[in-house]
């Protein structure tokens, strides 16, 4: 579907986004993490309802700025906003799906899932402390795997990114040196490597640069047939990065514990849990300037909760549990037009 081409998805200024809004029934902008599933949902939704969606995959930071500026109907972020920020900006936040961030590599001769890393090793690679694939610490963990005596090129997100927030939140949870020196944020001061814009840009860079390693949402690894590494989880196991492992990470999550559903799913307990798992979120204004358009946005995501699970799981995303969807519907009751009436009827 043409509105979802990468050329349209990146590098657009606010004025361009506002212009594109005229060509689509619903407009959204932000996180690249859920871009593949939002694309699939949009295609199916148009067929079912005739209503179009133009989603610009510009990164979580861009999505937050665009919804704050009211140039799109909804923003999307993988780095959930805190309660104080939601209140300040008059926003409502809710999750759509869960997924995993996966380290991907381009090491000649190495197939997907053949290399194992711990979180500490991953942190040391991105901190510039481990420089070669032949480093004894990596070799020791990968007995029998022929690793080259080649420099590692870490690839990171050059834009403000929720995927980076997920990745660095994980690194901060497993590496105290990383936490102290770099921390967790949508952007950090990367000491080594090269950047790519969006999950798309990281994917392209890893494919082009031999002996590189990057981090992307699992659907990008799957769709682009990238080799991925296994990561040791909290239980000491190395699960495959698939929907089963992402669901295991979310199994004991307390969605009520944080305003805006902004819970952390990284480094969860459980032998089958993928350690870099997260939810992705939508932002809409609590008081809608255009009640009809705000209602259309919620209708789209309501349709996705009811009809989009198969499309999500085909891309290795994990649909939200029914009880969480029920909580989201309750949250939607607080989204109203200027006349004080709810914009979405249950």
DSSP string, 64-113: HHHHHTT-SSEEEESSPPPHHHHHHHTEEEEEEEEEEEEEEEE-TTPPTT
The per-residue pLDDT of the chain, averaged, comes to 91
pLDDT at 346: 52
Cα→Cα distances 339→207, 290, 306, 330, Å? 52, 11, 29, 19
Supply the Cα-derived Rg of the chain in whole angstroms. Answer: 20
CA separation for the pair 328, 314 (Å, rounded)? 23
pLDDT at 11: 38
Question: Average pLDDT, stretch 191-211?
Answer: 96
Q: Is the pLDDT of residue 24 over 80?
A: no
Fold classification of 2-99+279-337 (topology level): D-Maltodextrin-Binding Protein; domain 2 (3.40.190)
Question: Average pLDDT, stretch 159-172?
Answer: 95
pLDDT at 253: 82
pLDDT at 37: 96
Question: Average pLDDT, stretch 4-11?
Answer: 37
Say if residue 310 is exposed, middle or buried (CB neighbours under 10 Å; 0-12, 13-18, 19+): exposed
Domain 100-253 is classified in which CATH homologous superfamily?
Answer: Periplasmic binding protein-like II (3.40.190.10)
pLDDT at 9: 39
pLDDT at 267: 93
Asked if 314 and 263 count as a contact pair (C-beta separation under 8 A), the reply is no
Q: Is the pLDDT of residue 256 over 90?
A: no
Question: Average pLDDT, stretch 32-36?
Answer: 93
Q: Is the pLDDT of residue 138 over 80?
A: yes
Q: Is the pLDDT of residue 251 over 90?
A: no
pLDDT at 316: 86
What number of residues does the chain have? 346
* CATH 3.40.190.10 domain span(s) along the chain: 2-99+279-337, 100-253
This prediction has a pTM of: 0.84
Q: Is the pLDDT of residue 150 over 90?
A: yes
**Model pLDDT for residues 265-303, shown as the tens digit of each residue:** 999 988 999 999 999 999 999 999 999 999 999 999 999
Say if residue 9 is exposed, middle or buried (CB neighbours under 10 Å; 0-12, 13-18, 19+): buried
Question: Average pLDDT, stretch 91-103?
Answer: 96
Question: Average pLDDT, stretch 218-232?
Answer: 94
CA separation for the pair 278, 34 (Å, rounded)? 11
pLDDT at 68: 97
Q: Is the pLDDT of residue 10 over 90?
A: no
Q: pLDDT band for 89, please (50, 70, 90 cuts).
A: very high
pLDDT at 235: 95
Q: Residues 335, 337, 77, CA angle at the centre, nearest 5°? A: 45
Handedness of CA 264, 266, 267, 273 (dihedral sign): positive
- Write the CB contacts of 340 (distance below 8 Å, at least 6 apart in sequence): none
Range from 72-81, 248-257, 316-325, 337-346 that averages highest in pLDDT: 72-81
Q: Is the pLDDT of residue 216 over 80?
A: yes
């Amino acid at each position: 579907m043409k509105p979802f081409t990468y050329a349209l998805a990146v590098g657009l200024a606010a004025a361009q986004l506002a212009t594109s809004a005229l060509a689509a029934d619903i407009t959204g902008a932000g996180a690249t993490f859920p871009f593949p599933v939002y694309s699939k949902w949009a295609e199916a939704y148009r067929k079912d309802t005739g209503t179009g969606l133009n989603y610009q995959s510009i990164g979580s930071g861009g999505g937050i700025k665009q919804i704050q500026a009211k140039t799109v109907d909804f923003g999307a972020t993988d780095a959930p906003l805190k309660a104080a920020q939601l209140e300040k900006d008059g926003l409502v936040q809710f999750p759509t799906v869960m997924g995993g961030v996966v380290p991907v590599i381009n090491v000649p001769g190495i197939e997907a899932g053949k290399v194992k890393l711990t979180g500490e090793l991953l942190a040391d690679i991105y901190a510039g402390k481990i420089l070669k694939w032949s480093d004894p610490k990596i070799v020791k963990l990968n007995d029998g795997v022929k690793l080259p005596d080649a420099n590692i090129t870490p690839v990171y997100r050059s834009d403000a990114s929720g995927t980076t927030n997920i990745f660095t939140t994980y690194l901060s949870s497993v590496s105290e040196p990383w936490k102290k020196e770099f921390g967790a944020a949508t952007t950090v001061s990367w000491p080594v490597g090269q950047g790519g814009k969006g999950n798309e840009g990281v994917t392209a860079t890893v494919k082009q640069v031999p002996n590189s390693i990057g981090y992307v949402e699992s659907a990008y690894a799957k769709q682009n047939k990238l080799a991925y590494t296994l990561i040791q989880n909290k239980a000491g196991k190395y699960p495959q990065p698939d929907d089963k492992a992402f669901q295991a990470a979310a199994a004991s999550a307390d969605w009520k514990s944080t305003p805006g559903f902004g819970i952390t799913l990284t480094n969860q307990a459980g032998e089958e849990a993928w350690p870099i798992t997260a939810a992705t979120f939508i932002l809409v204004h609590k008081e809608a300037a255009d009640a009809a358009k705000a209602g259309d946005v919620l209708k789209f995501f309501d349709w996705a909760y009811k009809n989009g699970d198969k499309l999500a799981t085909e891309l290795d995303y994990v649909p939200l549990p029914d009880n969480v969807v029920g909580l989201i519907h309750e949250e939607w009751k607080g989204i109203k037009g200027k006349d004080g009436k709810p914009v979405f009827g249950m």
